[in-house]
């Protein structure tokens, strides 16, 4: 059976970020208008800008098959792997006015090329390799069962393109924060049954740089061209920290544990009680805002905090279904 | 038209730090002829933090909440983006993993409950858009919000991950160009403000552990709306509301610019357009003064 495939074209206006660190004081945008075909991907447009309009236009590309991760850029603010993203999809999503920019404007070297030094430093910091004592003359093969391989949850498909890293709002604000790609790599090896690292989880468990500072916005899952779902790995690293007994008694950890305590007691959350449990004496810093909230009726008094109906069920389930300890 | 009826999962915030959200939900439901059966047995969804500590426990508790909606034979409607995400994610995982569903049901059986997977889970914003319809809302408007520039703030957990949201809502929308809230503003007669931060994170979930990150995100969001010439912001998420309404001092300090705008709940905006009184909608509960009514 043959299926007819009709190629269509449409006019698209591109606003393209330009900057040469050797020559330009400030970046600027160049406009290009092109007939784009339904067969093209974003990388084809970058090629046409260079080949047909301006030979000095610079960008990274290599495999053209979604494997090397070199060509990630932003289209209308969305991180995109240029060789994988179809122009049709981009026009469907954003219309015919498209802005093409590097993954990070503040790290730009020339046009689409950025200095990914921070990305690689953070990647390196999480021990992105197997840490294992290897018997050089093993008697048997070192087998990994299909179930154990499944536990990696596709984390090893990451191509280090940086799309998630430079889309992450926490990375943009907090320079220490490792970011979703590094966490996906950390998970990849921490979840490997052959790995013996005692350091990796401790490293990603640190405040500031580690998993506790993830803002839970799901941008990383949304932009990942390999559908790795980095935030899913971040959640699993949180859980591993508890399972391995390395979760420290700090505000972030108590914040997670406090939910269970509150649910066990009331079913619903005691919001004030949760903040008190999480912050301890540091809660005093919230007093000015709390007072303003109180005057507006935005704080429930301890005696007015609701309790779920059928608390006996909730208590029983919390007792029988809990799998984590702190 | 058959009266719409949902099982209401209020979440925790609507009963404590955003009482006006509960008030306005009930007022708008009455105007729209929606019957809400409150799930008073429901527990907290874990708010994406319990999940970091104890994934299985959070699955069991969320499955229990949905099981109560199933007992009523109703679609569950949430009024918090994070409740929506955690509940929809639980439903997705259980409906697509028979083994996990059986494990969870083994626990629920201890209290005489069963998760079947028969009830849908949707946010009140999407219930209005999908089941009432924007045309109907437009017809029902008695006080058009035509003099206002209104900045929509979507909140992450209603629009991402889009794969989950698209299977949950009848009217899928893009995580990068969401339209539901913009369309609702227009249906209410207002002018929607387009600004870069409208689909970005407010920082709520790291308020305690990463206060600077949280404050910058809040500040950027309000500043974006202000630069778009917004008179006020509107959000379907009470957690975003709390961050944008109560943390303006920290946000201003973090970004080096005074930022503050009234931040209304989606229900309050619809209620105003449908002719509810400011008192019914709890507009006196905001820290950023709502001075236009």
Q: Is B57's CB within 8 Å of A174's CB?
A: no
Longest dimension (CA), chain A: 73
The pTM (predicted TM-score) of the whole model is 0.96
Here the tokens at position A101 are 């920019």
Residues B48 and B71 in one domain: yes
Q: Is B55's CB within 8 Å of A239's CB?
A: yes
CA dihedral A29, A31, A37, A40 (to 10 degrees): -20
CA-to-CA distance for A307 and A298, rounded, in angstroms?
Answer: 18
Size of interface A-B (CB pairs under 8 A): 202
Give the bridge partners for A35, in sequence order: A11
Q: Which of B123, B151, B167 is the last residue of a domain?
A: B123
Is the bond preceding residue A90 a cis peptide, omega within 30 degrees?
no
Specify the pLDDT at position A255.
Answer: 97
Give the mean model confidence (pLDDT) for residues B98-103: 98
Specify the pLDDT at position A2.
Answer: 55
The SS3 call for residue B205 is: helix
Give the mean model confidence (pLDDT) for residues B101-108: 98
Specify the pLDDT at position B167.
Answer: 86
Residues B278 and B138 in one domain: yes
Residues B186 and B279 in one domain: yes
Q: Which of B103, B123, B143 is the last residue of a domain?
A: B123
CA-to-CA distance for B66 and B9, rounded, in angstroms?
Answer: 9
At how many degrees (to 10) do helices B81-95 and B55-72 cross?
90
State yes or no: pLDDT of B203 exceeds 70.
yes
Q: Which among A216, A256, A265, A324 is the top mutation candidate for probing chain B, defined by the most B β-carbons within 10 Å of its own β-carbon?
A: A216
Q: Percentage of chain B with pLDDT > 90? A: 95
Give the mean model confidence (pLDDT) for residues B276-287: 97
Residue of B nearest to A234 (CA): B52
Report whether A131 contacts A193 (CB < 8 A).
Answer: no
Tell me how close the Cα of B226 comes to any Cα of chain A, in angstroms: 20
In a domain? residue B129: no
Residues B275 and B138 in one domain: yes
pLDDT-based confidence at B166, cuts 50/70/90? confident
B284 in contact with chain A, both atoms CB, cutoff 8 A: yes
Residues B143 and B280 in one domain: yes
B13 in contact with chain A, both atoms CB, cutoff 8 A: yes
Q: Which residue has the tokens 């043959």?
A: A2
Residues of chain A in contact with residue B210, where contact means CB-CB under 8 angstroms, are 170, 174, 208, 212-213, 215
Instruction: For residue B99, count other CB atoms closer than 10 A to its CB.
Output: 7
Residues of chain A in contact with residue B214, where contact means CB-CB under 8 angstroms, are 215
In a domain? residue B291: no
B48 in contact with chain A, both atoms CB, cutoff 8 A: yes
Q: DSSP 3-state helix, strand, coil percentages of chain B (rounded to 5)?
A: 55, 10, 35
A195 in contact with chain B, both atoms CB, cutoff 8 A: no
In a domain? residue B293: no
Q: What is the CATH number of the domain that holds B12?
A: 1.20.1050.140
Residues B173 and B265 in one domain: yes
Q: Any idea where the domains of chain A sit in the sequence?
A: 9-113, 117-134+144-243, 251-321
CA-to-CA distance for A207 and B43, rounded, in angstroms?
Answer: 29
A314 in contact with chain B, both atoms CB, cutoff 8 A: yes
In a domain? residue B58: yes
Give the strand order in the sheet containing B76-78: B34-38, B4-9, B76-78, B121-123
Phi, psi of A13 (to 5 degrees): -100, 125
The CATH number assigned to the domain with range A9-113 reads: 3.10.20.30
Residues B138 and B17 in one domain: no
Residues B168 and B194 in one domain: yes
Number of domains, chain B: 2
Q: Which of B93, B123, B153 is the last residue of a domain?
A: B123
Q: What is the CATH number of the domain that holds B166?
A: 3.40.50.11810
Specify the pLDDT at position A3.
Answer: 61
Residues B150 and B91 in one domain: no
Give the mean model confidence (pLDDT) for residues B220-230: 98
Residue range of the domain that includes B111: 5-123
Give the mean model confidence (pLDDT) for residues B9-29: 97
Specify the pLDDT at position A136.
Answer: 87
Report whether B188 contacts B204 (CB < 8 A).
Answer: no
Across chain B, what does the average pLDDT equal? 97
Residues B224 and B116 in one domain: no
B93 in contact with chain A, both atoms CB, cutoff 8 A: no
Tell me how close the Cα of A245 comes to any Cα of chain B, in angstroms: 12
Q: Is A308's CB within 8 Å of B56's CB?
A: no
Here the tokens at position A175 are 């320079």
CA-to-CA distance for B206 and A169, rounded, in angstroms?
Answer: 12
Q: Which CATH architecture has domain A117-134+144-243?
A: Orthogonal Bundle (1.10)
Phi, psi of B35 (to 5 degrees): -95, 125
Q: Is B44's CB within 8 Å of A212's CB?
A: no
pLDDT in tens, chain A (326 residues): 556 778 889 999 999 999 999 999 999 999 999 999 999 999 999 999 999 999 999 999 999 999 999 999 999 999 999 999 999 999 999 999 999 999 999 999 999 999 999 999 999 999 999 999 888 899 998 889 999 999 999 999 999 999 999 999 999 999 999 999 999 999 999 999 999 999 999 999 999 999 999 999 999 999 999 999 999 999 999 999 999 999 999 999 999 999 999 999 999 999 999 999 999 999 999 999 999 999 999 998 889 999 999 999 999 999 999 999 89
Tell me how close the Cα of B8 comes to any Cα of chain A, in angstroms: 14
E strand or H helix at A45: helix A42-48
Specify the pLDDT at position B19.
Answer: 97
Give the bridge partners for A290, in sequence order: none
CA-to-CA distance for A10 and A94, rounded, in angstroms?
Answer: 14
Give the mean model confidence (pLDDT) for residues B131-149: 97
B57 in contact with chain A, both atoms CB, cutoff 8 A: yes
The string of pLDDT tens digits covering residues B233-277 is 999 999 999 999 999 999 999 999 999 999 999 999 999 999 999
Q: Which of A54-63, B137-146, B164-173 has the lowest mean pLDDT?
A: B164-173
């Amino acid at each position: 059976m043959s299926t007819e495939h009709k190629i269509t074209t449409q006019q698209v206006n591109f606003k393209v970020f330009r900057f040469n660190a050797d020559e330009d004081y400030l970046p600027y945008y160049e406009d290009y208008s092109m007939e784009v075909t339904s067969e093209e991907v974003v990388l084809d447009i970058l090629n046409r800008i260079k080949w047909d309009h301006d030979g000095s236009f610079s960008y990274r590309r290599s495999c053209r098959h979604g494997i090397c991760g070199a060509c990630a850029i932003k289209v209308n603010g969305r991180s995109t792997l240029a060789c994988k993203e179809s122009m049709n999809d981009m026009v469907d999503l954003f219309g015919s006015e498209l802005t093409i920019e590097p993954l990070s404007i503040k790290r730009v070297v020339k046009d689409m090329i950025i200095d990914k030094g921070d990305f690689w430093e953070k990647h390196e910091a999480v021990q992105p390799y197997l840490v294992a004592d290897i018997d050089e003359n093993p008697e048997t093969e070192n087998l990994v069962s299909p179930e154990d391989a499944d536990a990696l949850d596709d984390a090893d498909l990451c191509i280090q393109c940086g799309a998630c890293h430079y889309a992450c709002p926490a990375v943009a604000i907090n320079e220490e924060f490792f970011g979703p790609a590094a966490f996906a790599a950390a998970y990849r090896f921490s979840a490997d049954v052959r790995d013996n690292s005692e350091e990796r989880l401790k490293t990603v468990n640190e405040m500031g740089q580690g998993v506790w500072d993830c803002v839970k916005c799901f941008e990383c899952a949304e932009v990942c061209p390999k559908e790795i779902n980095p935030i899913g790995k971040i959640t699993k690293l949180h859980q591993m920290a508890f399972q391995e007994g390395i979760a420290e008694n700090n505000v972030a950890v108590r914040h997670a544990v406090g939910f269970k305590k509150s649910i066990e007691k009331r079913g619903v959350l005691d919001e004030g009680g949760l903040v008190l449990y999480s912050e301890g004496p540091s809660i005093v810093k919230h007093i000015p805002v709390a007072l303003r909230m109180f005057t507006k009726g935005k704080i429930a008094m301890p005696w007015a905090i609701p309790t779920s109906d059928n608390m006996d069920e909730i208590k029983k389930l919390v007792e029988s279904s809990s799998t984590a300890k702190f | 038209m058959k009266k719409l009826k949902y099982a209401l999962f209020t979440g925790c915030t609507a009963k404590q730090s955003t009482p006006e959200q509960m008030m306005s939900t009930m007022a708008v439901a009455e105007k729209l002829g929606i019957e809400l059966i409150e799930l008073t047995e429901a527990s907290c969804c874990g708010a994406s933090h319990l999940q970091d500590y104890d994934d299985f426990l959070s699955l069991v508790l969320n499955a229990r909440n949905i099981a109560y909606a199933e007992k009523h034979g109703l679609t569950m409607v949430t009024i918090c983006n994070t409740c929506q995400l955690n509940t929809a994610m639980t439903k997705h995982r259980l409906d697509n993993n028979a083994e996990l569903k059986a494990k969870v049901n083994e626990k629920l059986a201890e209290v005489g409950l069963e998760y079947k997977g028969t009830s849908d889970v949707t946010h009140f914003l999407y219930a209005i858009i999908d089941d009432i319809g924007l045309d109907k809302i437009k017809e029902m408007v008695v006080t058009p919000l035509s003099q206002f520039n209104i900045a929509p703030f979507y909140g992450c957990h209603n629009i991402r991950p889009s794969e989950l949201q698209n299977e949950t809502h009848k009217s899928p929308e893009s995580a990068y160009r969401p339209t539901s809230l913009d369309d609702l503003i227009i249906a209410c007669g207002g002018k929607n403000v387009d600004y870069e931060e409208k689909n970005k994170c407010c920082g709520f979930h790291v308020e305690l552990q990463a206060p600077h990150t949280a404050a910058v995100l809040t500040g950027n969001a309000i500043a974006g709306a202000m630069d778009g010439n917004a008179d006020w912001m509107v959000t379907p998420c009470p957690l975003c509301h709390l961050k944008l309404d109560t943390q303006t001092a920290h946000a201003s300090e973090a970004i080096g610019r005074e930022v503050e705008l009234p931040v209304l709940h989606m229900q309050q905006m619809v209620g105003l357009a449908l002719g509810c009184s400011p008192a019914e909608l709890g507009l006196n509960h905001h820290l950023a003064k709502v001075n236009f009514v």
